[in-house]
Structure 1
């Protein structure tokens, strides 16, 4: 089949999308993005172009305009049905029109209709949005420009957001992407990384508080563009005070100044280690057909289900003895490994790992709601707080129903989510984690999966943070009205952005303070910041737009209007009012732009075209018109070429594969390429120990007999000697990956101390001699 990209006809005719330009401005922990898409209708008939595209779930679209034939058409934001009617009326009367709307079901899906573009005419469409930036495990801020919208599975009887389509992938797209970023932070820009080639980072000030960087020229938009921004002092809290909109009503959200406070608390080291073996861990794993797709279109890339299997193995090896666990697989139906959660022992771990090896992407569609209900229907174990880990490629159509189900049970279940592969729905992954007071992670590109998995486990095992209180201290005559809720949960390495409205007498020479107080165990802690009430001149209305989006999301997720309770119509009216005043799109509003200067009707029949992704393993496209009730069956933008997740000497090997399959997995022949650290992890027992055998000592590049001959006379248990050797090897030869194996090592060290007593010192000396390393006793806390 001939491959077609982008805007296509039913006959797979070429795309009129000619180029994309993106300008990114990062200010502290938020980003302001302006995207420009250039089209050209090179055909003999006018065209209606339909482009469905993904965006980060917490993005706030605030501006939209188009330019045709040198005429700029500025969009207005209106109630959604009114905007749709205006668009239809404009097309019926032969006018040019543009409609931008957010999906009713998922906040990370947008649909742009380019209406009645005359033959031979060029059009430029510009949209701007602001978004909060996620904090990665290593402290980096992550911005992602998605290049694909995966088809979303929709339960029977519901309306589809996207349509699976056929087509080969991996070929170059016929247009380029221009991307530049301006970075600003009072705590200093340290470095920038990306999965794409960048120009050199250029500092604009000597104190490194401002910098700029761009994609290398000629970049083809064939993958996500991921930018990782590292600050010099990431844990230093920051505050920005922004003036209101002069034309807005005083006292309104847009009329008053707002303060945005970014807090990234650094917990004491003791708080980062698990304090007990309590907990019930339930792993909910997507086994739908889409999980059989590869993580990337590159050669020999593993499938998504394989990445989920790897994730499960690492988690199962890292769990503490004495906890409880269970594993669910879900698709069109669901199955649990055990009828009820079981205690974590060697026997149950081995049983679970055996079943994990047999997991496939063979369960049909992505029905996540029913297994969630089954999990929530079972009573929690006293003294063992339930932690839910969800692994999915995020391709569901009933996102809001799923999030609402999680939210209903947030008091007894925490929810940690993993988006597997590029194109996972940010609305689903972030929404479930937010509703369940957990943490979301996305496993894409060159990311090592292990640190992200262990970070979430670390969060789940952390002692509870209680008594969270946010206090404001401002001069007399000034009132602070919080816009965002005080965080319900705090994690080490997890930032919070808080918004508040400043009402009353405003003195720019005065100083305000914000303090976040909480208890960790029995110890009180505080993160505090002082800030001048001086208005920042460089933010535009970024803070106001993000605050408006926060308030809109709170209302849409079940909030109530003061004095009206949860009346849906009153809530909708309130959302529409905030949305139109702030010019921030919502589920109930849309941007509409009509070229009112066009004096004559466009001649010729109108052709509709749909932008669509090129996904493998799907049937041919079924073209459907959008009904007045919501999104029809439309597909998205171009496929992303995901990067290899590399281990060892450049070959990605599943933890669950046998060694002799490694070469085949990488599309190579010759010697095995399995990563020795992953082999070591797979050999650890549930109690933290290792057995002394040929498989283990081969990791050390030794023979079993040689290891036995070097065992100290004081040690009678070969397992003690083997476990010490494994710990020494990790600390000496994989020290840079400590964040991945630290839980395994903690469990091993506890076991060996309980077994060995006074014989640890000779074990340490003999182990260093055998392995050729120099690990000091204090390194192992001896």
Structure 2
């Protein structure tokens, strides 16, 4: 099983004493600083590994640790060089650390910690930046997962030769001996209307009269016995905004970190009269996860509601609301995959009823989580003329070959849109967000059954898809380099973020303008956003780091496409930018430096191998 936190090499958890989390939200993005304190209560040294989950689009930008009296701060270096430096400290009794992105999934990071002496404490500080997903009710969602020291123990139950059941046994809150401190600071160009949570909060405190800055904390006495979900709401949520962030003072002008960066947020709301006049026909393909883990409860508070039943209810709801004249098909997957019809069929009362009957019979009984093969089969089917293919994926995110799946969706992005649903608390966000982003669609997370219907129907309403062009108007002495992939389609209710580097000098009073042009139901439309080029005074580097992350993902895809031609130029550029920005990438790793003497800490490289869901070989199964 995939445990998280500070673990011994025998997968035993080192006791957690406390967690402190500080959240800084700027408009649609956030910086998260987590400090986790552990203690070795054994009478012998422990060799340990720190494993932790992150949002799929997160960018790790700082790591430090204190083991006893030794203070360690990590630096980004090229991965091979990092491995060479991290060579033999464990065998010589030194502390050893290595922080890198998993080869299997970008939302799992592992840190190898050397010998933790008996009675000593370990304090680990991690900082990352991430984009916040927009929910169906316009709220921005931040989730702090409880899996770092989870309040439950997932257990498979086997019936015959299949992973039939996935049971979650929760630990009583009274057993949790550690404390959680959580605070958030929110700022935006528009007023903050409210902040909600599934946990008790202290009252929202506004920091200025226009209510564009506020702080909020978890109420005293909270036990970290569930995911902490925070929902942030702004007034005038659908108005476009721009946040300009100043460059890093120590970086050279003209570089990625030295120049100012602007983040433009587009979150359109189209009139219903215009929406109803557009075409809503298409080919709707549903892909359902039926692996064993889908038998897990959707949340601690809803033990009777499984992830599988929630996915089933979502597909049934969609089936009953598809537009007449469309085509559809339903696939499901685990270790193997199935489909209801040999190819997509026209939507009618007869085909709908046949599909409803078969979906109602679906259980989480297909074993592992192999999504790649059914996706290949779907993309190999010819598209239906004049019916845009729209793929809806329902999964808890525990899939194999995450990066291959995301790359395949990206490769076929010109012929379809991909919408994804993450179902259940503790869902792995990398495949869910990655598929939606690369497929030009949208992602939603369902952690409570009472919110499922609104989220499902919102994605179904994304049938109107205007083509978009974005142009920039800046003073002649300022140039713009867009770091984000181009926006081809603009959806009602879907947030799009554009990161751009601003090079050149401008006066404090100078303004920039972004123009968004699109066509709604055959009628051209245009929106303009004017913004000051003067950077805000308290922005930090959140926008820069996420802009760098967006650029890294594009370069990583480009490198994979040219790998067979042995073109090392892209990789060299990516490594250089990663080191400059201090943001990790797939070709770099964090290497710790002893701040007492400035020496690099060395030791054996220890990579975490992410276990896959169960596979069956004859009469036996393996992880």
TM-score of the two chains, using structure 1 as the length reference: 0.72
User: In proportion to residue count, which structure has more helix?
Assistant: 1
Residue 535 of structure 1 is matched in structure 2 by 535
- Determine if contact 1:561/1:571 at 8 Å carries over to the other structure: no
Among candidates 373, 376, 395, match of residue 373 of structure 1: 376
Question: Cα gap change, 1:168/1:117 in structure 2, threshold over 3 Å: closer, same or farther?
Answer: same
1:587 and 2:586 equivalent? yes
> 1:11, CA displacement in angstroms?
7.6
Please state whether the residue corresponding to 1:183 is helix, strand or coil: strand
- Determine if contact 1:287/1:331 at 8 Å carries over to the other structure: yes
Residue 506 of structure 2 is matched in structure 1 by 506
Please state whether the residue corresponding to 2:182 is helix, strand or coil: strand
> 1:58, CA displacement in angstroms?
0.9
- Determine if contact 1:36/1:126 at 8 Å carries over to the other structure: yes
Q: Which runs of 5+ in 2 are unaligned?
A: 155-164, 613-623
> 1:306, CA displacement in angstroms?
0.8
Q: How does 1:164-179 map onto structure 2 within 5 Å? A: 168-172=169-173, 173-179=176-182
> 1:508, CA displacement in angstroms?
1.9
Residue 569 of structure 2 is matched in structure 1 by 570
> 1:70, CA displacement in angstroms?
4.6
Q: How does 1:628-647 map onto structure 2 within 5 Å? A: 631-633=608-610
Q: Partners of 2:310 and 2:480 in 1: how far apart?
A: 47
Q: How does 1:201-350 map onto structure 2 within 5 Å? A: 201-273=204-276, 275-276=278-279, 278-298=281-301, 300-350=303-353
Residue 516 of structure 2 is matched in structure 1 by 516
Question: Cα gap change, 1:84/1:223 in structure 2, threshold over 3 Å: closer, same or farther?
Answer: farther
Residue 488 of structure 1 is matched in structure 2 by 488
Among candidates 383, 387, 392, match of residue 389 of structure 1: 392
Q: How does 1:563-712 map onto structure 2 within 5 Å? A: 567=566, 569-595=568-594, 597=596, 631-633=608-610
Question: Cα gap change, 1:52/1:262 in structure 2, threshold over 3 Å: closer, same or farther?
Answer: same
Residue 129 of structure 1 is matched in structure 2 by 128
> 1:571, CA displacement in angstroms?
2.2
Greater CA drift, 410-419 or 289-298? 289-298
- Determine if contact 1:97/1:595 at 8 Å carries over to the other structure: no
1:442 and 2:441 equivalent? no
Greater CA drift, 304-313 or 446-455? 446-455
Residue 647 of structure 1 is matched in structure 2 by none
Deviation string 1:485-517 (CA, Å, 9 cap, x unpaired) is: 231221111112111111122322211111221
Please state whether the residue corresponding to 1:557 is helix, strand or coil: helix
Greater CA drift, 38-47 or 22-31? 38-47
- Determine if contact 2:77/2:588 at 8 Å carries over to the other structure: yes
Among candidates 418, 425, 428, match of residue 425 of structure 1: 428
Residue 354 of structure 2 is matched in structure 1 by 351
Please state whether the residue corresponding to 2:304 is helix, strand or coil: coil
- Determine if contact 2:31/2:130 at 8 Å carries over to the other structure: yes
> 1:83, CA displacement in angstroms?
2.4
> 1:87, CA displacement in angstroms?
3.3
Deviation string 1:220-245 (CA, Å, 9 cap, x unpaired) is: 22221111001112122222222222
Residue 140 of structure 1 is matched in structure 2 by 139
1:478 and 2:478 equivalent? yes
Q: Partners of 2:559 and 2:87 in 1: how far apart?
A: 32
Deviation string 1:47-68 (CA, Å, 9 cap, x unpaired) is: 2221222111111111111223
Residue 54 of structure 2 is matched in structure 1 by 55
> 1:190, CA displacement in angstroms?
0.5
Question: Cα gap change, 1:10/1:59 in structure 2, threshold over 3 Å: closer, same or farther?
Answer: closer
The structure with more radius of gyration = 1
Q: Partners of 2:482 and 2:581 in 1: how far apart?
A: 17
Q: Partners of 2:9 and 2:90 in 1: how far apart?
A: 21
Residue 31 of structure 1 is matched in structure 2 by 30
Q: Partners of 2:591 and 2:230 in 1: how far apart?
A: 31
Please state whether the residue corresponding to 2:308 is helix, strand or coil: helix
Greater CA drift, 382-391 or 61-70? 61-70
Residue 194 of structure 2 is matched in structure 1 by 191
Question: Cα gap change, 1:540/1:39 in structure 2, threshold over 3 Å: closer, same or farther?
Answer: same
Residue 466 of structure 2 is matched in structure 1 by 465
> 1:201, CA displacement in angstroms?
0.8
Residue 72 of structure 2 is matched in structure 1 by 73
- Determine if contact 2:7/2:50 at 8 Å carries over to the other structure: no
Greater CA drift, 90-99 or 430-439? 90-99
- Determine if contact 2:72/2:593 at 8 Å carries over to the other structure: yes
Deviation string 1:620-640 (CA, Å, 9 cap, x unpaired) is: xxxxxx987x532469xxxxx
> 1:196, CA displacement in angstroms?
0.9
Q: Partners of 1:413 and 1:588 in 2: how far apart?
A: 30
Q: Partners of 1:226 and 1:77 in 2: how far apart?
A: 31
- Determine if contact 2:298/2:307 at 8 Å carries over to the other structure: yes
Q: Partners of 1:110 and 1:11 in 2: how far apart?
A: 18
Q: Which runs of 5+ in 1 are unaligned?
A: 153-163, 607-625, 636-782
> 1:266, CA displacement in angstroms?
2.3
TM-score of the two chains, using structure 2 as the length reference: 0.89
Alignment RMSD, CA only? 3.0
- Determine if contact 2:394/2:422 at 8 Å carries over to the other structure: yes
> 1:71, CA displacement in angstroms?
4.4
Deviation string 1:428-455 (CA, Å, 9 cap, x unpaired) is: 0111111211111111146510111111
Please state whether the residue corresponding to 2:568 is helix, strand or coil: helix
| Residues matched between the structures, number | 594
- Determine if contact 1:107/1:427 at 8 Å carries over to the other structure: yes
Please state whether the residue corresponding to 2:548 is helix, strand or coil: helix
- Determine if contact 1:104/1:631 at 8 Å carries over to the other structure: no
